[in-house]
Structure 1
Amino acid sequence: MNDYSFLHQTNIILHIVAGSLALIAGLIAIVTTKGGKSHRKSGIVFLIFLMMVIITGLVGVFVFGRNIFLLIITMLSGYLGFSGYRVLKSRSNKIYMADVVIALIVLTATGYFLYYLKSIGFIWSPIIVYSTVGYLVGMITYDFIRYLIPAGRYRNLWLYEHIVKMISAFSGILSAFTGTVLPQYHPYSQFLPSVLGTVVAVGFMVYVYNRKTKNRFIRK
């Protein structure tokens, strides 16, 4: 058995508990009526526990030097959760300094992660590393490009962005969970939750689009 310190063990327990509760709250937010009371409350609870996952994950990496790959998973889920919440609150592509600063910090940390991997050699499946980093960089790139979208057009896009980011944050946590408890099924236990999350996100976006189209048709 690994000789972990009491503080490290406590951090691991908090990380596991926070992650499990985040998954439960996130699942409730996904299956409940969008915009309803249960959806909003469970979404807030998901973000609270996601923040705890981020904090304990960063402590595990930088204080106790454990599994630096958790750094990129933590950054992915944390950034998408933050950005997805910000989109919901602003419902616009107006530039806010806090959003820009957080995006640049995460982008810099991602660069450090890739540099570190190059220095020690790959010890994880390249498909997992490249797909995770690529998706995160792609989302950050989009977040800068969206400032160029005309405000009137973006008014019809923010909800789709919220859906993609929040479900991606959830599937990132789920991937970390299944990848940890089912190591014998790597890399499938690591990337299949993300594939499932993509399918769910696309399904919700199609539903929202069809509902908006139907409402426009009724108003006419």
Structure 2
Amino acid sequence: METIFTILLIIHIIAGSIGLLTGTINIIKKKGDKTHKSVGKFFFYSMLINGFAGFIMSLIHRNDFLLIVAVFSIYMVATGQRFLSLKQLNKEQKPKAIDWILTYTMLVFAFLFITYGSYLLINKVYFGIVLLVFGVVCCLMAIKDIKVYKGNIKEKNYWLLLHIQRMVGSYIAALTAFIVVNNHFLPGIVGWLLPTVIFTPLIVKWTKQYRVQI
């Protein structure tokens, strides 16, 4: 089992490093051009591999930090990619089974994060704040997915906006993991939430910039 864990750790680190590098490139470069799309494929697959490796590692040796980041990363990058194939939901296109599975699985994890986070806070373990924040964010996004799947859409290019939001969200998860693991200066909770605080305004900016109302 330890050999498997070590192999997964190596895969996790390599994939995470590629994800951080390619994610940074795509955040800096122009959106939608050929380079963005090519680099984006590397980002997608590296983050997916990183997430699944981290998830299995968190089960072999219980690690709540790794579990949160892994679940968040998988959901964000998977739904972000899926929405590129769901451009006609406002024209009677139906989501596939994988879309519903991703969304409802995320709802289950969001409920668990919120419940366990509340339990930790009641017992004055302040890591519960992190669980609550991620749980609420994941819950809101899953609810958003369900509304979009049912045709409750307000933007013509909803799929592009959700793609941007989810991919940047996945990058936030990767950066959060990197900071938490290597943080020797900031308070723990600050390291956890700093990438979210920094990059959320960018998500808001790009959403407003690219939004096309119906």
- Matched position secondary structure for 1:168: helix
Structure number with larger C-alpha Rg: 1
Q: CA deviation at 1:192?
A: 0.9
How does the TM-score come out when normalised to structure 2? 0.84
In the other structure, the counterpart of 1:10 is: 7
Unpaired stretches in structure 2, ≥5 consecutive residues: none
Instruction: State the Cα deviation string for residues 4-59 of structure 1 (Å, max 9, x = none).
Output: 93432332222112111101111112222211111001111011111111121112
Matches within 5 A, 1:1-220: 5-62=2-59, 64-93=60-89, 94-113=94-113, 118=119, 123=125, 125-149=127-151, 153-182=154-183, 184-185=185-186, 186-209=188-211
Q: Give the Å deviation of 1:173.
A: 1.3
TM-score by length of 1: 0.82
Query: Would you identify which runs of 4 or more consecutive aligned residues in structure 1 move more than 6 Å?
Result: none
Is 2:8–2:53's contact at 8 Å kept on the other side of the alignment?
Answer: yes
Task: Report percent identity of matched pairs.
Answer: 25
Structure 2 counterpart of 1:217: none
Contact persistence 1:183–1:189 (CA under 8 A): no
Give the distance between the partners of 2:51 and 2:114, measured in 1 at CA.
19
Structure-2 separation of matches of 1:123 and 1:70:
18
Distance 1:122 1:179, change over 3 A: farther
Change beyond 3 A, Cα 1:126–1:115: closer
Change (3 A) 1:203 1:48: same
* Coordinate RMSD, CA, aligned: 2.6
* Distance of 2:147 and 2:76 partners within structure 1: 16
Q: Is the 8 A contact 2:22 2:39 kept in 1?
A: yes
Alpha-carbon offset, residue 115 of structure 1: 5.5
Distance 1:22 1:124 in 2: 29
